[in-house]
């Protein structure tokens, strides 16, 4: 057995042993107990109540405990995160706005982009990214995902199109700053409306389901055979609109600023 073969065998056996050890730790926690047996009291509360059809006192109407935590049990924190992102995007646009020569960018120059193979591949991959991101956002209340994850994933599609086909290609598709800002505003209004509607019944901001101390009946978990998960689906859709458009706004501003400053330098 030569040296290269021996090295390959050693690496394979070592990797196999490491995989077995990590798998054992992941399943048993490394001490012979399943991780669920050592959940703290707060975690146990979420697990027991997020979708407890037998006791709906504190339930969120969603089997996806993570989304329930993000939008129901600690929704204020998620709203503050969205607010921080909103302020950051606004600050970036203020800094870049006057440096971009918008008049020269209204009528784009011809831009050939990359090769035909790259363009075709980018279009196919971007289409797949869009579908996956929509699945993440719309199913985020019953499976891992949500509005932020879906919105972040969606913004990758126009970024790929910019890289492979140019900034002018996506502006012709309708990805323009003012449109993205308008869609972001719709998303923010959606978050605000869904969060404040419970106040009409003297409920709580961001309240999802009914609680003993309020008369707010809660958002419907089911409408006929359609499962909605209460307010979670509406909040996920609104968050999807906000996050996706804010990232796209940043990408547009970056590339437009690059084009503008490059033109001035030339």
User: If we measure between CA atoms, which residue out of 59, 57, 56 comes closest to residue 47?
Assistant: 59
Kindly indicate the confidence band of residue 152, based on its pLDDT and cuts at 50, 70 and 90.
very high
Backbone angles phi, psi at 213, to 5 degrees: -90, 0
Both structure tokens of 52: 């407890």
Residue 102 pLDDT > 70, yes or no?
A: no
Q: State the SS3 of 52-64.
A: CCCCCCCCCCCCC
Name the E strands within the chain: 222-223, 226-227
For residue 188, how far is the Cα from the chain centroid? Answer: 15
Residue 61 pLDDT > 80, yes or no?
A: yes
Rounded Cα gap, residues 169 and 161, in angstroms: 7
Could you give the C-alpha distances from 10 to 1, 4, 6, 60, 69, in angstroms and in order? 12, 10, 6, 51, 45
Query: Which residues are CB-neighbours of 69 under 8 A, at least 6 positions away?
Result: 46, 50
**pLDDT at residue 144, as a whole number:** 87
Could you give the C-alpha distances from 48 to 27, 77, 95, 217, in angstroms and in order? 21, 22, 48, 21
Strand partners, 218: 209
Rounded Cα gap, residues 70 and 79, in angstroms: 9
**pLDDT at residue 113, as a whole number:** 63
Q: Which tens digits make up the pLDDT trace of 203-251?
A: 999 999 998 888 999 999 998 888 888 999 999 999 999 999 999 988 8
DSSP string, 220-256: -SEETTEE-TTTHHHHHHHHHHHHHHHHHHHHHHHHH
Enter the pTM of the model.
0.78
């Amino acid at each position: 057995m030569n040296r290269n073969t021996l090295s390959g065998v050693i690496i394979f056996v070592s990797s196999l042993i490491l995989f077995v050890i990590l798998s054992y730790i992941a399943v048993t926690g490394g001490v012979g107990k399943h991780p669920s047996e050592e959940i703290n009291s707060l975690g146990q509360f979420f697990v027991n109540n997020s979708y407890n059809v037998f006791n709906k006192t504190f339930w969120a109407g969603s089997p996806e405990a993570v989304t329930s935590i993000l939008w129901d049990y600690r929704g204020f924190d998620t709203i503050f995160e969205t607010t921080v992102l909103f302020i950051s995007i606004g600050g970036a646009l203020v800094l870049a706005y006057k440096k971009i020569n918008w008049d020269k960018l209204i009528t784009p120059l011809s831009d050939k982009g990359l090769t035909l193979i790259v363009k075709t591949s980018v279009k196919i991959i971007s289409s797949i990214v869009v579908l996956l991101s929509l699945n993440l956002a719309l199913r985020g209340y019953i499976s891992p995902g949500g509005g932020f994850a879906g919105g972040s994933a969606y913004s990758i599609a126009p970024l790929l199109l910019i890289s492979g086909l140019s900034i002018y290609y996506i502006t012709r598709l309708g990805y323009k700053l003012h449109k993205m800002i308008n869609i972001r505003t719709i998303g923010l209004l959606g978050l605000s409306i869904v969060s404040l509607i419970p106040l009409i019944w003297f409920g709580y901001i961001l309240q999802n389901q009914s609680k003993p101390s309020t008369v707010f009946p809660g958002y419907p978990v089911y409408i006929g055979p359609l499962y909605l998960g209460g307010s979670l689906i509406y909040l996920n859709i609104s968050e999807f609109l906000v996050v996706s458009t804010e990232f796209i706004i940043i990408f547009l501003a970056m590339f437009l600023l690059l084009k503008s400053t490059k033109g001035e330098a030339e």
